[in-house]
Amino acid sequence: MKKIGFDAEKYIEEQSKYILERINCGNSERLYLEFGGKLVQDKHAMRVLPGFDENAKIKLLQKLKDQAEIIICIYAGDIMTNKTRQDFGITYDLEVLRLIDMFRKYDLSINSVVVTRYEDTPAVNMFINKLMRRGIRTYKHYFTKGYPTDVDTIVSEEGYGANPYIEVDKPLVVVTGPGGGSGKLATCLSQLYHEYRCSRKVRYAKFETFPIWNLPLKHPVNIAYEAATADLRDVNMIDSFHLEAYGETAVNYNRDLEVFPVVKRIIEKITGEESEYKSPTDMGVNRAGFGIIDDEVCREAAKQEIIRRYMIAQVDYKKGKIDETSLERAKLLMDDQELKISDRRVVEPAREYAEKKRNCDERYMNVVVLALELSDGTIITGRSSRRMVAAAAAILNAIKKMSGISDEIHLISPNVLRSIQTLKTETLMQERTSLNAEEILSALMISAATNPSAEAAVEKLSCLRGCKAHCTAILSDRDEQTLRSLGIDVTSDPEYLTTNLYFA
């Protein structure tokens, strides 16, 4: 049984209460709340804080829905480079569309989308047109003239004044985005400028789950955040401003510490008053640290995440997605915690089985193995074959094991598998004949209509959610996405199955 280290209900209660206090504090008309991290389906938080509800943040906003509306920011450069959200394997522009759908599902009011640091390019304009033609208000914000040193220009008609004001109505305006660097802070400060120009008193605060300010600097949960943002060069640091102002130790990260003096001066220039914030930690409203109920469980989960992030970085480097500096940073963080790849339990069984098959028969020289750890700790393996890929084999073997079905029993008729392969190669003219995980699952669902064993196995698919897996070769995008959709946390060795470049 999975150990719990975090109380999700306590967290939602504590967090919503604290945000309400910020809204109601003073005589301001509204609060602009910059939401960092993932507002929905926060898989990282769920992995490092076992018990964390991946949708906790959107659920607490749902409690405040009568008072809240949402602005979604996306950096134009991320649209042009097709930047991808790692957890789902989708680009940031598609993630914005997914976020809108999710917010609607929770009955939250979507104000608009802002394209920050707008550039007049076909990809960016096509995205804007797509939103506007679907009835989504969309704004263009530009690079802020004078930023970051010339505060007089920043807080002027040439700076924030060059951006259009986003019409808002509610006392809580949540400003979020698909990932880091989306322009959320600039959007908040631009809004503050326009509000004060209209003699409306408003405030700014920040909600960033990680790093957790009241955990030690080198706590594995905070180190896991550094590992997750290695490509952004984020580094956790002691908040020196907080220490000087209050004599208390708090953890923040380099970008917030670097920008704080500038943000403080900008806010003071906009409001004409001394800032209420003496440190970046003061600006935050995060209460995640108070939800931890078993520190040891969270430490161990975070260590596993640090290993996972390094293994993902190895694959991303192989694919050309990140540079060598990002890979080295991920490795240093793992070494700092004295961790090894083999500490991820599914790695060695996959590698050992693959090596065993290669040594016993030259026909298996290119065999790929995927090892999957069930919730009771049992390790199940599956290997690639002419019929199916390793991921598909491992899934079938796992649900057979959980259903108590013998290995000799076919969940899917070999004739069915052959028919699908014939369709792929002779009708659809596809290069690869082995069936991928999605195709095998489709065949399994059809078989379940007439095969009681297949029906019993299908019922166990939901039990794979939360399981860990490792593959001895880089997974195809489709197989990786299928495993993610099943809730399986998968890593792979940074090796391609073949030397092919297109059909890799």
Following DSSP, what letter does each residue of 242-310 receive, concatenated?
Answer: HHHHHS---EEEHHHHHHHHHHHHHHHHHHSS--S-SSHHHHB---GGGGBS-HHHHHHHHHHHHHHHH
* 3-state SS, residue 230: helix
Model confidence band, residue 340 (pLDDT cutoffs 50, 70, 90): very high
Distances (CA, A) of 198 to 38, 79, 191, 204, 323: 32, 33, 11, 17, 46
340-367: average pLDDT: 92
Backbone conformation region of residue 205, classed left if phi is above 0, alpha if psi is from -120 to 50, else beta: beta
Tokens encoding 319? 């694919």
Helical spans, DSSP H, in 138-235: 151-154, 184-197, 220-228
Q: How many CB atoms lie within 10 A of CB 352?
A: 14
Residue 6 predicted with pLDDT over 60: yes
DSSP string, 5-19: -B-HHHHHHHHHHHH
119 Cβ contact partners less than 8 Å away, ≥ 6 residues apart: 76, 77, 80
d(CA 490, CA 249): 36
Q: Read off the pLDDT of residues 86-124 as tens digits, 9 standing for 90 and up.
A: 667 789 999 999 999 999 999 999 999 999 999 999 999
312-317: average pLDDT: 96
pLDDT of residue 504: 52
* Residue ranges per structural domain of the chain: 8-295, 349-492
Q: Read off the pLDDT of residues 386-431 as tens digits, 9 standing for 90 and up.
A: 999 999 999 999 999 999 999 899 999 999 999 999 888 888 877 6
Q: Read off the pLDDT of residues 126-173 as tens digits, 9 standing for 90 and up.
A: 999 999 999 999 999 999 999 988 999 999 999 999 999 999 999 999
- The dihedral built from the CA positions of residue 68, 70, 71 and 72, taken in this order, carries a sign that is positive
pLDDT of residue 287: 93
313-317: average pLDDT: 96
Q: Which CATH number is 8-295's, of 3.40.50.300, 1.10.3720.10, 3.30.750.24, 3.10.630.10?
A: 3.10.630.10
- Which among 24-28, 47-51, 54-58, 177-181 has the top mean pLDDT? 47-51
Class assignment of domain 349-492? alpha beta
Which of residues 432 and 383 earns the better pLDDT score?
Answer: 383
Residue 503 exposure: Cα atoms within 13 Å on the Cβ side: 5
Q: How many helices (H) and strands (E) does the chain have?
A: 20, 14
Which range, of 71-75, 241-245, 247-251, 360-364, averages the lowest pLDDT? Answer: 360-364
d(CA 394, CA 467): 12
Residue 138 exposure: Cα atoms within 13 Å on the Cβ side: 22
